[in-house]
């Protein structure tokens, strides 16, 4: 469903993404991890058609991001913790707005509004979205990103700051979506969350240094937790990068 082939992105002389290739299957939940500045956001921006690759290409549902960036946008949904809703608009207005932007049918918009009214309760449904509890905001953000039924959805740190109970409700929702065949690509800084993914990829200095199921990665790094595996993988890579610098 997502195929990345020899993807490179440079900003001047700085290489943010350095020749990465991987694929994510239909209905898969893929965790995309890495330290701040490792190249994750740059990669996601290219997947969304917001940034042109310097070399290589990305295929979303068979469409090339390089030659069809506008078409690609209709095949993806995007949600982030930082921005997904207009805080001053009510949930009803947010659904109406995103539905109109994506050209969703009136019937579907009305259904989504009805669903949100049931989920949130009539009172919260008529308040500004910014006043909703974090867990509600997040579920509403997800519904808005899914209004146009995209085959692929990108979730950028969607559970940042959400408590353990709220995070579990969100993950159940993610599994519901993936069970229906939607491909989910998710970034998180919390490794216990990465345990929920089918597979994870770890980026460091623009390269993909690890790609496998969480249980396999833990075994590979002889760690009990993904947190330990992540830190070991990144430190090993940093030591390698340091050694290369010394050589030069």
- Interface with other proteins by CB under 8 A: which residues? 34-37, 81-82, 133-135, 157, 160-168, 171-172, 175-176, 178-179, 189-192, 195-196, 214, 227, 230-231, 234
Task: Return the number of the residue (3 or 232) whose C-beta is nearest other proteins.
Answer: 232
Taking the complex as a whole, the smallest distance from the CB of residue 22 to other proteins amounts, in Å, to: 20
Taking the complex as a whole, the smallest distance from the CB of residue 195 to other proteins amounts, in Å, to: 3
Task: Return the number of the residue (211 or 231) whose C-beta is nearest other proteins.
Answer: 231
Strands 63-64 and 55-60 turn out to be antiparallel
**CA proximity to 116, closest of 97, 134, 133, 94:** 94
Taking the complex as a whole, the smallest distance from the CB of residue 199 to other proteins amounts, in Å, to: 12
Task: Return the number of the residue (52 or 168) whose C-beta is nearest other proteins.
Answer: 168
H helical segments located in the chain? 40-47, 69-74, 91-101, 106-120, 122-125, 134-145, 164-179, 191-194, 214-220, 226-247
Taking the complex as a whole, the smallest distance from the CB of residue 84 to other proteins amounts, in Å, to: 14
Taking the complex as a whole, the smallest distance from the CB of residue 96 to other proteins amounts, in Å, to: 26
Question: Where does residue 180 rank: exposed (0-12), middle (13-18), buried (19+ CB within 10 A)?
Answer: exposed
| Complete DSSP assignment for 89-102 | S-HHHHHHHHHHHT
Task: Return the number of the residue (93 or 223) whose C-beta is nearest other proteins.
Answer: 223
Task: Return the number of the residue (64 or 160) whose C-beta is nearest other proteins.
Answer: 160
The single residue listed with the structure tokens 């953000």 is 141
Task: Return the number of the residue (15 or 160) whose C-beta is nearest other proteins.
Answer: 160
Taking the complex as a whole, the smallest distance from the CB of residue 183 to other proteins amounts, in Å, to: 15
As a whole number of angstroms, the distance between CA 211 and CA 201 comes to: 4
Contacts 24+ apart (CB under 8 A), 106-115: 108/147, 109/147, 112/143, 112/147, 115/143
């Amino acid at each position: 469903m997502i195929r990345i082939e020899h993807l490179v992105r440079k900003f001047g002389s700085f290489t943010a993404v350095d020749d990465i290739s991987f694929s994510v299957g239909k209905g898969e939940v893929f965790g995309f991890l890495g330290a701040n500045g490792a190249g994750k956001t740059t990669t996601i921006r290219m997947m969304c058609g917001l940034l042109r690759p310097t070399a290589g290409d990305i295929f979303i549902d068979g469409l090339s991001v390089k030659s069809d960036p506008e078409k690609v946008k209709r095949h993806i949904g995007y949600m982030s913790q930082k921005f997904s809703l207009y805080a001053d608009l009510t949930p009803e207005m947010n659904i109406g707005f995103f539905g109109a932007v994506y050209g969703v049918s009136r019937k579907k918009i009305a259904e989504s509004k009805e669903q949100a009214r049931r989920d949130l309760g009539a009172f919260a449904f008529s308040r500004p979205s910014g006043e909703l509890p974090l867990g509600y905001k997040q579920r509403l953000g997800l519904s808005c990103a899914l209004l146009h039924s995209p085959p692929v959805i990108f979730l950028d740190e969607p559970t940042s700051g959400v408590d353990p109970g709220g995070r579990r409700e969100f993950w159940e929702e993610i599994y519901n979506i993936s069970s229906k065949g939607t491909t989910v690509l998710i970034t998180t800084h919390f490794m216990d969350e990465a345990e929920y993914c089918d597979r994870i990829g770890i980026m460091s200095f623009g390269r993909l240094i690890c790609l496998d199921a969480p249980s396999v990665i833990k075994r590979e790094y002889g760690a009990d937790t993904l947190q330990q595996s992540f830190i070991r993988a990144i430190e090993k890579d940093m030591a390698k990068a340091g050694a290369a610098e010394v050589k030069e």
